[in-house]
Structure 1
Amino acid sequence: MRPSPSRRTVLTATGATALGVAAATEAEAAAPSGYRPPATAQRPTRELRALLREIDSDRIEASVRSLVSFGTRHTLSSQDDPRRGIGAARDWLLAELRSYAAASGGRMTAELQSYVQEPAPRIPTATRITNVVATLRGSVTPERVYVVSGHYDSRVTDIMDATSDSPGADDDASGVAVVLELARVMATRRPASTIVFAAVAGEEQGLYGAAHMAQQLKAAGADVQGMFTNDIVGSPTADDGTRDPYTVRLFAEGVPTSETPEQAAIRRSVGGENDSATRQLARFVRDVADNDATGMHVRVIYRRDRYRRGGDHIPFLERGYPAARFTEPAEDFAHQHQDVRVDEDGKQYGDLPEFCDFRYVARVARVNAATLWTLAQAPGTPRDARIITTTLTNSTQLVWTRGTEPDLAGYEVVWRETTSPEWTHVVPVGDVTTHEVDLSKDNVFFGVRAVNRAGLRSPVAFPRPEA
């Protein structure tokens, strides 16, 4: 165990001295007054900036318009018509992902993941639901997995109407286009860990495709350390006409959906309601993607999702995986899920491509890319982090299990006041598995994150109490 620094040293050590703080960005101008990057912020690497420059808004627009061209993508629509319905969209998506995989040197594969959903709410008869999935296998730690998704099914006002035109440009061709563009630009690269790109079906009928995918991963024992769904990311314009083109919302739950009552009670007893693995994942997104490289401000919302609605991250949360939802800053309810029509004043209704801002979607894609690429290249989140409570003193001992990554360089201890939403202090502690801090465990929250030789940091692990 390293010698404990003095309390004065501990209190003055910050991320600014340990890491350096990213310069102010265009996105920060749109952020709340007084915004400063978190102390844990990570500078974009040259490799990441090159990747982000390849994201193309024109390609994203072409993907959205291709998906809209199938007329409807309702889950109950035709599965064998070559031009119209969800089957035609499925086949087009598979062809696109396979074309990207062809450039990967065998590292990426693309496949259909299907099952038959028996009659259920919003599913009147047995229906085949098919996800289109591309997997880019990691070159160093392939067992560690990150998932990004959008849903390719669409709907109109009547949730059971499987025949009317249902373009679904914003909800959710925009999210699927993000996934496709990420797969395209990453296919030719070598991530250390595995990234899964998924276009899922059955979302509007009840999150069926995502639930099947999450269950398949769980049954296989997959180490999914982060999942993001992109759902309604097509426009920065609200229903009153106001625009916020440099902000994306990220919904992140607190006390995990999958926790038992006993686990939740322990979390409440130590004040960890704001420190779930999903909240740490959300903080990581701000660390690596709220900067000049993406041109975006990430507004983290401390909720699982919007009122009375839910997205494809929820089945992953239910199975114990950290998962969060990206969505535009304010939805335009005048067009979302509306039937395609033109009123007497010539005003258009319906979820049409004309209401999307494809440069905005490209910036959302860059936020996703910065997050996923850094996660895949950095060490995994530290495991078995604990805070020792047997000795009641005014110092704090933290312990954790060393990671197995070949390029692991060491660890950092972070902390913040219990009333602060962001980590405010960072101290490098070396390649150790225990560290004592000269601060009372009663007064602040602590965390641990891993660092590799390239200087990339993992998400923070929040320690559980050990008596």
Structure 2
Amino acid sequence: MTKPHLLLLAPLLIAAAPVHPAADAVSQDRLRADIDKLVSFGTRHTLSSLTDPKRGIGAALNWAEGEFKAASKACGNCLTTARPEDTVTGRRIPNPTRVVDVIAVQKGTERPNDVVIITGHIDSRVTDVMNATADAPGANDDGSGTVAVIEAARVLSKHKFPATIVYGVLSGEEQGLVGAKILADYAKAQGWNVIANLNNDIIGGSCGSDGVCDNAHVRVFSEGPRWQGGADLRGPQRSLGGENDSPSRNLSRWLDTLADNLSLGLDVRQIWRNDRFGRGGDHTEFLNAGYPAIRFSVAIENYNEQHQDLRTEGGIEYGDTPDKMDFAYLAKVTKLNVAALAALASAPPPPAPSVEGAVSNDTVISWPAVAGAQGYVIRWRRTDASQWEHELRFKPQSSAQGATTMYVQGIAGIRVDDWIFGVSAVSSDGHESPVASAVPGGAFRPYEAPAPVSAPAAPPTSPRT
């Protein structure tokens, strides 16, 4: 390949950052103890009691908040807890009901408004989604995601990061993703620049109801064309691409690479749809708000354990209880989450690149300079390739410090027609952001439709004579 002509950029010599040691601190024993505690509340149905001290959603939320506060005390009050809530009615919430989330905020030391959010839903259910009184252990769905969030707060709060990490325990998932919408709205009200939502829902089992087992993979679900932006994006994407390059899709690609580097014996299986066939999860409400979001879930689901009354029929045990979980597997998935949160909170935000090159032998890529970035990686792949195939690494020349725009001009022999381009940002210590694709809707921020172009004012008319 002919050497590209560079403007404002020079070779990047920053080594890749090592995996953060916090992942090694995840405790399988603590995860098991926390699951047992969640199950002890009997039911955590969203419509169960908010005030009973021992049984129901309120008691479970109080316990989760207590765990966040204990972690905060251990780190010198580095976490701030809050309870975003709303009074909701809907198809599965027939009467006005307070739906309450519990969050802990670990404020970033350099870029506190750049935010990474991990979530799991604490509510549980049985076969009848409206049954708020029967025992609903919800060990795997979604006690597993909840305890992963709490464990992440315990181990990551012992360290400091440039960006903010938010640990979210959500209610109302089984009643229509209600708690997720509450938190997404809360994030918008706070003015957070949400880099990613890592949603964990059913991450603690390794065997399906058909006897097939897989403890070596975790599924990561990600949407392709971004949903938020809708019709406004369809025309530009049809012309310029973007069907497979939403921020969430690039987040899943980034997680796949991270998992390979961790050597956990856990590989990411990217599932290129928003969620399981015909189903949904809390990350969807973050996507609706324009925030990059993905869902972690087990490689193989066990449908005998999901949304089931506790019973035995035909020799088959039904119900979501701790004895059916694989806690070694849950620990691996939690470690992947912890490593991802640490890396995302250490890296600069992804750039917002654009590309030009129609009717040209060369390609021009540009992007606004990113705060905290000491270098950038330009990546590209064939339009039918699943992962990024090629890269060029750069850092700004000293003469370019303070420049508002970075770009590479004339990548010779690379015609934009046949390739998808993207750019990631790199910190001084080697932490690299996910790639943002240079396509309509590819930026890691809520989509904003271009302002309409005003028609030129009519020239003044001369007075009649």
State the TM-score, normalized to the length of structure 1: 0.87
Counterpart check, 1:141 vs 2:111: yes
Structure 1 equivalent of residue 7 of structure 2? none
Contact in 1 for aligned 2:118/2:197 (Cα 8 Å): yes
1:63-462 equivalences under 5 Å are: 63-117=34-88, 119-343=89-313, 345=315, 347-383=316-352, 385-389=353-357, 392-405=359-372, 408-431=373-396, 433-436=406-409, 437-438=411-412, 439-462=414-437
Inter-CA distance 44–288: structure 2 relative to 1 (3 Å threshold): farther
CA distance in 1, matches of 2:415, 2:84: 50
CA distance in 2, matches of 1:308, 1:410: 41
Letter in 1 for 2:431: L
Max radius of gyration: which structure?
2
CA distance in 1, matches of 2:285, 2:220: 17
Gaps of 5+ in 1: 1-6, 11-16, 21-41
Contact in 2 for aligned 1:214/1:319 (Cα 8 Å): yes
Letter in 1 for 2:418: N
Contact in 2 for aligned 1:97/1:180 (Cα 8 Å): yes
Structure 2 equivalent of residue 36 of structure 1? none
Shift of 1:308: 2.1
Contact in 1 for aligned 2:16/2:431 (Cα 8 Å): no
DSSP-derived class of the 1:124 partner: strand
Q: Deviations over 1:82-130 (max 9, x none)?
A: 111111111111111110011222321122222211x311112111111
Of 106-115 and 234-243, more deviation after overlay is shown by 106-115
DSSP-derived class of the 1:106 partner: coil
CA distance in 2, matches of 1:253, 1:179: 23
CA distance in 2, matches of 1:107, 1:59: 21
CA distance in 2, matches of 1:344, 1:272: 49
CA distance in 1, matches of 2:100, 2:323: 28
CA distance in 1, matches of 2:13, 2:211: 40
CA distance in 2, matches of 1:140, 1:254: 32
Inter-CA distance 343–19: structure 2 relative to 1 (3 Å threshold): farther
CA distance in 2, matches of 1:232, 1:44: 30
Q: Deviations over 1:415-464 (max 9, x none)?
A: 11111010011111322601021111111111111112211211112114
Aligned residue pair count: 425
Contact in 1 for aligned 2:356/2:416 (Cα 8 Å): no
Inter-CA distance 43–399: structure 2 relative to 1 (3 Å threshold): closer
CA distance in 1, matches of 2:3, 2:216: 37
Shift of 1:234: 1.1
CA distance in 2, matches of 1:207, 1:63: 23
CA distance in 2, matches of 1:19, 1:274: 30
CA distance in 1, matches of 2:67, 2:61: 10
Structure 1 equivalent of residue 454 of structure 2? none
Q: Deviations over 1:129-183 (max 9, x none)?
A: 1101001100111110010000000000000000000000010000001001100
DSSP-derived class of the 2:67 partner: helix
Contact in 2 for aligned 1:290/1:367 (Cα 8 Å): no
Contact in 1 for aligned 2:362/2:415 (Cα 8 Å): yes
Letter in 1 for 2:392: V
1:53-68 equivalences under 5 Å are: 53-68=24-39
Shift of 1:343: 3.8
Letter in 1 for 2:126: V
Q: Deviations over 1:183-228 (max 9, x none)?
A: 0001111011001001100000001011011012113321001001
Shift of 1:19: 9.6
Contact in 1 for aligned 2:69/2:81 (Cα 8 Å): yes
CA distance in 2, matches of 1:227, 1:184: 19
CA distance in 1, matches of 2:336, 2:262: 11
Contact in 2 for aligned 1:70/1:89 (Cα 8 Å): yes
Shift of 1:276: 0.8
DSSP-derived class of the 1:79 partner: coil
Of 289-298 and 82-91, more deviation after overlay is shown by 289-298
Gaps of 5+ in 2: 5-10, 401-405, 441-465
DSSP-derived class of the 2:211 partner: coil
Of 281-290 and 354-363, more deviation after overlay is shown by 281-290
CA distance in 2, matches of 1:93, 1:227: 19
CA distance in 1, matches of 2:175, 2:332: 29
State the TM-score, normalized to the length of structure 2: 0.88
Shift of 1:324: 0.6
